[in-house]
Structure formats: C-alpha cells, structure tokens
Amino acid sequence: MTKDMLSLEILDVSSNSLEYDRHGENCTWVGSIVVLNLSSNILTDSVFRCLPPRVKVLDLHNNRIRSIPKDVAHLEALQELNVASNSLAHLPGCGSFSSLSILIIDYNSISNPSADFFQSCQKIRSLKAGNNPFQCTCELRDFIQSLGQVSSDVVESWPDSYECEYPESYKGTLLKDFRVSELSCNTALLIVTIGVTGLALALTMTGLCVYFDLPWYLRMLCQWTQTRRRARNVPLEELQRTLQFHAFISYSEHDSAWVKNELVPCLEKEGIKICLHERNFVPGKSIMENIINCIEKSYKSIFVLSPNFVQSEWCHYELYFAHHNLFHEGSDNLILILLDSIPQYSIPSSYHKLKALMAQRTYLEWPKEKSKHGLFWANIRAAFNIKLKLVAEEDDVKT
C-alpha cells in the first residue's frame, strides 16, 4: 500500500476495520514512515510482526491486542507507544523498544504489573497506566514501591487514576494508600515468626507451669475429682457431713516432737479430739485420699508452720486440700501456728497459697518464752469456741 510513497512520514488509517493477516508473508512498509496511527481498528497481537522499521510514534489504542509478543521485530527508533483501551494483562518490557520514552497503556486489563518495568525501560519519561483493574496483593507492593522511586512527573494521572479493583476489601483504595506488611507477604518470614513465637510461648508456659507447679495442681484436682465421684455412689444419708474430730493436724515429721509432746497433749486434755497421720489414716487407701477424708471429717485443720513444713510435699498436699475445703464449705476452718519463722526466700513458689494465707489471716506464733505459753494455749482453745457433737469413731476414719 505504501511501497511507492517514498517520502511518506505520517500515516493515519485509524477508525477503519483493518486487520493483519498473520499468515501472510508479505510485509512491506516504506522506510520513511515515522508516525503511524492504527487506532480504532480490529488489529490483534500479530500487528507487531509487521510494522515500519523506523517508526517513532505508534498509536494502536482501541484495538484487540491481548499481549505484545516476545519475538516482536526490534523497533529501535520507537519513542512513543499508545496501546490504551486494549486487553493487555502486563506492562511490556523494552527489550525490543530500546528508545521508548512514552508509554500509554491505560484502560487495559493489567492487574499485577511487573516491579522491574522501570529497570527494563530506563528511558521512560512518561507512563500513563491508570484505570486498570489492579489487584492489591503482595505482588503489587513491589510495583508500588518502584513507582515511588521515580519522579512524580513520570507517572501521569498519579495517584487519582490508580485504584485497587481486587480484593473487595480494598476496592476503590488508591495504590498510594495500599499497605501490606512484610510479614504477610514473606511466607518464610511468617513461618519463622510463627515458629519463634510459638516456641517462646511454649517456653514461657513451661516456665510458668514449673514456677507455679501446675502439674502438681492438676494431680490434686484429679485426686479431688475422683474422691468426689466416689462419694456420689454413697447413699444420701451417708453423704451428710458428720464430724469425727475437732482438728486435723498437719506438720512436718521433723517437727513431730513438738506436736506430740506439746500440742497434742495440751489439746486433748481440753477434750479436743485430734486426727493424726500415724494413728488415724486407713490402711489400704492412698495417702491423698486419707488426707481428703481426714480434712473433711475434722472441724478444724491446724497447720504447724516452719522451714521444715515448706520443704515437705505431703504438707503441701494437706494445705492445698484444706484451702480448697475452706472455699468449698464456706467455713473458717484453718488455724495457722508459726512454730519457727520462715524466711520469704525459703518458701518455694509452689507454696504461693501459703504466702497469701499468711498475708490475709492471723496466725499464732509459738513463743520461746515459757511465760507466754499460757496466752498461746488460750488462743488455741478460743478457736474451738463451740461444743460439737462428734460421731463416734470405731477404729479409723469412716469413708
């Protein structure tokens, strides 16, 4: 068509119904054409296989172009390319357009433009790529960052024509306002962060469990539950609380001499019936079950506190169950006797309930001076200020 127009430089054949026969081998353009307008036709991707070799300005907007082939003929003189209002899904690279400085590619189907566009097209001084259905995900973040690294005069209609289309939660958001964290985009970093956080949480929970002796409390809760479950199988009349002792005494074996020589004789001569491990525990039953039964069948629980007491695991069990029974029954049934002072640093973390009890409740301190013993015993007797009718005990604690 133009082979005889040797001086033709500008050709406008827009708004026709031109299409390129991709199977045709005859592709002849006059070499003088520098401006070519093929807009508003029905041209497809194949148009790039047959273009004037020295064209500088090429207008292909409003056609049916879906992509720019990678094996397109090199148009080293091309400076301005208009492919707006087509169906392009990606920004083209400039491997075949080494002189390209103006690219108009708005109103296409570009959702995730390549972040290395400006590296490929280093001579670009004007890019018009707005009004595309941008998908605001991690992939787009790098492209947005690359836009921020070029002059504001390069990207036309920025930022108003650059909006998120997907996902729905970001629809209408300007690209400049789109933010997504590094953590959510970097899968490896996310896995490492979750792993480190999970490990730190596990170590923290393990440390807290050890510090507060959680396994011990779980065992105690299990034992208490089992004892309560067995109690449900007993007839209702037998479940009614029946006291067999005025007091159950909890103490360390290292303090047994004072308990047996001082405390027990002084209480029993006042008619106070005492429950002790060695004479009232039922053979064949577990120690913890005996502890629970003795505490439940005693009006009071007396704890002889000393440095030896806080080093005893069984004393810990007895204190735990008595403290639990205090809230379960709603009664004031604890008597704390401080036989020897206990430094705070020597109290194990598992005895935090004891610390709380000593801070909240009055405890009786055993005086070293004999002249003060009378007042001490008077206070002990005052704790048993009501007359109780105890159920007769045959041999051992009834269960």
Predicted confidence band at 218 (pLDDT cuts at 50, 70, 90)? low
The highest-confidence range among 41-50, 99-108, 171-180, by mean pLDDT, is 99-108
Q: Is 13 a domain residue?
A: no
pLDDT (mean) for 218-244: 54
pLDDT (mean) for 118-140: 88
CA atoms within 13 A on the CB side of 163: 11
The CATH code of the domain that includes 321 is 3.40.50.10140
- Residue 189 pLDDT exceeds 50: yes
Beta-carbon contacts of residue 386 (< 8 Å; ≥ 6 apart): none
- Residue 308 pLDDT exceeds 60: yes
Which pair of tokens denotes residue 161? 């024509």
Measure the CA angle with vertex 338, ends 335 and 340; round to 5°.
160
What percentage of the chain reaches a pLDDT higher than 90?
16
- Residue 5 pLDDT exceeds 50: yes
- Residue 364 pLDDT exceeds 60: yes
Q: Is 298 a domain residue?
A: yes
- The reported pLDDT for the residue numbered 164 is 92
Q: Is 221 a domain residue?
A: no
How many domains does the chain divide into?
Answer: 1
Distance CA 240, CA 275 (A): 20
- Residue 39 pLDDT exceeds 90: yes
pLDDT (mean) for 31-52: 89
Tell me the residue type at 361. R
Q: Is 259 a domain residue?
A: yes
Convert the pLDDT of each residue in 278-297 to its tens digit.
777 777 777 778 777 888 88
Measure the CA angle with vertex 386, ends 264 and 330; round to 5°.
95
Predicted confidence band at 398 (pLDDT cuts at 50, 70, 90)? very low
Query: Does residue 213 or residue 161 have the better pLDDT?
Result: 161
- The reported pLDDT for the residue numbered 236 is 42
- The reported pLDDT for the residue numbered 23 is 60
Give the structural domain span for 293.
Answer: 241-383
Task: Give the lowest-confidence range in 80-89, 219-228, 230-239.
Answer: 230-239
Convert the pLDDT of each residue in 248-279 to its tens digit.
898 888 888 999 999 999 888 888 888 887 77
Q: Is 317 a domain residue?
A: yes
Query: Does residue 153 or residue 324 have the better pLDDT?
Result: 153
- Residue 63 pLDDT exceeds 90: yes
Predicted confidence band at 133 (pLDDT cuts at 50, 70, 90)? very high
- The reported pLDDT for the residue numbered 232 is 54
- Residue 144 pLDDT exceeds 60: yes
- The reported pLDDT for the residue numbered 233 is 56
80, 58 contact by CB (below 8 A):
yes
Predicted confidence band at 84 (pLDDT cuts at 50, 70, 90)? very high
pLDDT (mean) for 375-389: 69
Computed over every residue of the chain, the mean pLDDT equals 79
Q: Is 59 a domain residue?
A: no
Q: Is 19 a domain residue?
A: no
Tell me the residue type at 398. K
Query: Does residue 271 or residue 216 have the better pLDDT?
Result: 271
- Residue 361 pLDDT exceeds 70: no
Full-model pTM: 0.49
* Residue at token pair 């109690």: 231
Query: Does residue 15 or residue 149 have the better pLDDT?
Result: 15
Query: What does the H/E/C string look like for the chain?
Result: CCCCCCCCCEEECCCCCCCCCCCCCCCCCCCCCCEEECCCCCCCHHHHHCCCCCCCEEECCCCCCCCCCCCCCCCCCCCEEECCCCCCCCCCCCCCCCCCCEEECCCCCCCCCCCCHHHHCCCCCEEECCCCCEECCHHHHHHHHHHHCCCCCCECCCCCCCEEEECHHHCCCEHHHCCCCHHHHCHHHHHHHHHHHHHHHHHHHHHHHHHCCHHHHHHHHHHHHHHHHHHHCCCHHHHCCCCCEEEEEECCHHHHHHHHHHHHHHHHCCCCCEECHHHHCCCCCCHHHHHHHHHHCEEEEEEEECCCHHHCHHHHHHHHHHHHHHHHHCCCCEEEEECCCCCHHHCCHHHHHHHHHHHHCCCEECCCCHHHHHHHHHHHHHHCCCCCCCCCCCCCCCC
Q: Is 231 a domain residue?
A: no
Convert the pLDDT of each residue in 316-326 to its tens digit.
777 777 766 65
Four-CA torsion 159, 161, 167, 173, nearest 10 degrees: 50
- The reported pLDDT for the residue numbered 213 is 62
- Residue 234 pLDDT exceeds 90: no
